[in-house]
Chain A
Amino acid sequence: MEGEDWVYPEKVKEHFLNPRNFLFGDESKFDFDATGIVGNPICGDQMKMYIKVKDDRIVDLRWKTYGCASAIASTSALSELAKGKTLDEALNISAKDIDNYLGNLPKHKFHCSVLGHEALADAIKNYREQKK
């Protein structure tokens, strides 16, 4: 099936069908330093980020999502964008950055499903609080 036949841009389809860096199954399978969460299953979307930090840099991360195709794709895209970034750089990743990376989601999807950066920010906040 060609991307043009699909409801979302090709890059969204690609990340939806082959998501990167997701945490499959039990959380304990990934050795993380902090987690952050955003959204609510009642609203239809929830994302959780798990980060591993070394020298103020995200050296590895995983995510979990309950949500629609664009929620899965956008969280996957974010994980690619955030990997290797310093915590401050990672905090600067915006919903717009994710949207641009994916080739622009339909507007009504953008607001409800591009939330992963908030979960990431929450994880970074939690990490910094633990360090205090």
Chain B
Amino acid sequence: MVYLDYAATSPLLPEVIKAMHEAEEKYFANASALHTPGHLSMNKIEEARKLLAKLINAEPDEIIFTSGASESNNTVIRTFEGHKIITSPLEHHSVIETAKVLGGDEKPVLYSYMLANNEIGEILPIKDIAKKAHKEGGFVHSDLTQTLGKLPLDVKALDLDYATFSAHKIGGPIGVGALYIRKGVPFEPLIIGGSQEKHRRGSTYNTVGIAGFGAALKYVLDHKTWEIYDTKVRALRDELASRILKEVPGSSLNTELDGEKSLPNILNVSFEAAEGESIQLYLDAEGIIVSTGSACASGDIKPSHVLMAKTGDAEVAHSSIRFSFGLDNTKEDVEKVMAVLPGIIERLQKISTIERKIK
């Protein structure tokens, strides 16, 4: 199998599996308890908290663990219930939909802008947003889910008030995330009814999951993964892009490859006259795993809101495929994709009702 859907989720790192097994056996006790096993569980959690703090240049006290990025995003938006909430059109649904339901006219304003988008990899000018927001007396939240481990991160340099993280995009488990909350900013817990996380999030600590997140964070720090992404992974991504453009008629990139403009591991391409879900499933039949912005694949009736916002062209969105690379991908993976992709696209284009305009 050639797995190229790392931006959706990543396989667990061996180090993570080991850490979680260890935690299941040794750190099962309630981490809030005063007894020794509870205290040992809490140590494990604090270890992970310190690793994340180090990685993003925050204080450990400024980080709480959550059930994932969607919860972290919801928590921040909920804090600003009734306030004006301005988001980029590229945000995840857990930001856009929540802001739609809970937003109002009150001040201060919350700006929620991701640093890098999950579908096309676009990097947004978050520093400029933060400057503007703070000048107006507003606050800034950034969803850093796709950025963690991919780019060097510094929440102080970015001047963020809140930031969202997820474990499962960096080889950690699904169901664990984190939220950075800058000291002194407004905050309302989403889950009420417990003194955990210093009253910022009720619910018994997910020690096993957090231990897994910690192991993944340690891997990121030890290997400086953002450097590997910038070199090895970027080279693979760029090679696939140039080969697709050269070898597949009717292809166009939805990702700007320029170094400053996109994450190094994401490549979004549209194939004229070929529909995304069909491409995805023909590739799947060849053991190549990708995702698509086509409506058909999501169980939704509309295609990707991100591609619609960027291109305004439903056909481009329906015909899009996202290849997202991880640290394990190789040159052979690119070869395997290019061995079958041109044939799949040609076949779909030849049975398509749409005439190809790009020759």
Instruction: Spell out A's residues near B (CB within 8 Å).
Output: 1, 7, 16-17, 19, 22-25, 37, 41-48, 63-72, 108-109, 112-113
B103 within 8 Å of A by Cβ? no
Cβ < 8 Å to A, chain B residues 330-359: 347, 350-354
B278 within 8 Å of A by Cβ? yes
Contacts of B351 in A (CB 8 A): 19, 22-24, 63-65, 72
- Whether B275 contacts A108 by the Cβ 8 Å rule is no
Q: In the bound complex, what is the Cα–Cα distance between A36 and B282 (angstroms)?
A: 27
Contacts of A66 in B (CB 8 A): 273-275, 352-354
Q: What total of chain B residues lie within 8 Å of the partner, measured CB to CB? A: 25
User: In this complex, what residue of A is CB-closest to B294?
Assistant: A44
B299 within 8 Å of A by Cβ? yes
Contacts of A22 in B (CB 8 A): 351
- Whether B315 contacts A68 by the Cβ 8 Å rule is no
| Cβ contact of A68, chosen from B273, B294, B347, B352, cutoff 8 A | B294
B297 within 8 Å of A by Cβ? yes
| Cβ contact of B353, chosen from A16, A17, A37, A108, cutoff 8 A | A37
- Known contacts A68-B278, A69-B277; A44 and B353 CB within 8 A of each other: no
Contacts of B278 in A (CB 8 A): 16, 67-69, 71-72
Nearest CB in chain B: distance from A70 CB, A: 8
A65-B351, A68-B278 given; name 9 further pairs at CB < 8 Å. Answer: A1-B285, A23-B351, A24-B351, A44-B275, A44-B296, A45-B296, A64-B352, A71-B278, A113-B296
- Known contacts A66-B273, A68-B278; A41 and B314 CB within 8 A of each other: yes
Contacts of A7 in B (CB 8 A): 281
B301 within 8 Å of A by Cβ? yes
- Whether B354 contacts A44 by the Cβ 8 Å rule is no
Q: In the bound complex, what is the Cα–Cα distance between A7 and B297 (angstroms)?
A: 10
User: In this complex, what residue of B is CB-closest to A46?
Assistant: B353
| Cβ contact of A41, chosen from B282, B297, B350, B354, cutoff 8 A | B354
Q: In the bound complex, what is the Cα–Cα distance between A43 and B347 (angstroms)?
A: 21
B303 within 8 Å of A by Cβ? yes
B318 within 8 Å of A by Cβ? yes
Contacts of B274 in A (CB 8 A): 66
Interface-centre pick from A19, A63, A64, A68 (highest chain B CB count, 10 A):
A68
- Whether A68 contacts B277 by the Cβ 8 Å rule is yes
Contacts of B315 in A (CB 8 A): 41-42
Map CB proximity to A onto B274-303 as digits: 1 under 8 Å, 0 otherwise.
Answer: 111110011001000000001111010101
Nearest CB in chain A: distance from B272 CB, A: 10
- Enumerate 20 A-B pairs (CB-CB under 8 Å) in ascending A order: A16-B281, A22-B351, A25-B350, A37-B353, A43-B295, A43-B314, A44-B296, A44-B303, A64-B351, A65-B351, A65-B352, A65-B353, A66-B273, A66-B353, A68-B275, A69-B277, A69-B278, A69-B281, A71-B278, A113-B296
User: In this complex, what residue of A is CB-closest to B314?
Assistant: A42
User: In this complex, what residue of A is CB-closest to B318?
Assistant: A44
User: In this complex, what residue of B is CB-closest to A41?
Assistant: B315
Nearest CB in chain A: distance from B356 CB, A: 11
Cβ < 8 Å to A, chain B residues 26-84: none
Nearest CB in chain B: distance from A57 CB, A: 25
- Whether B353 contacts A47 by the Cβ 8 Å rule is yes
Contacts of A45 in B (CB 8 A): 275, 296
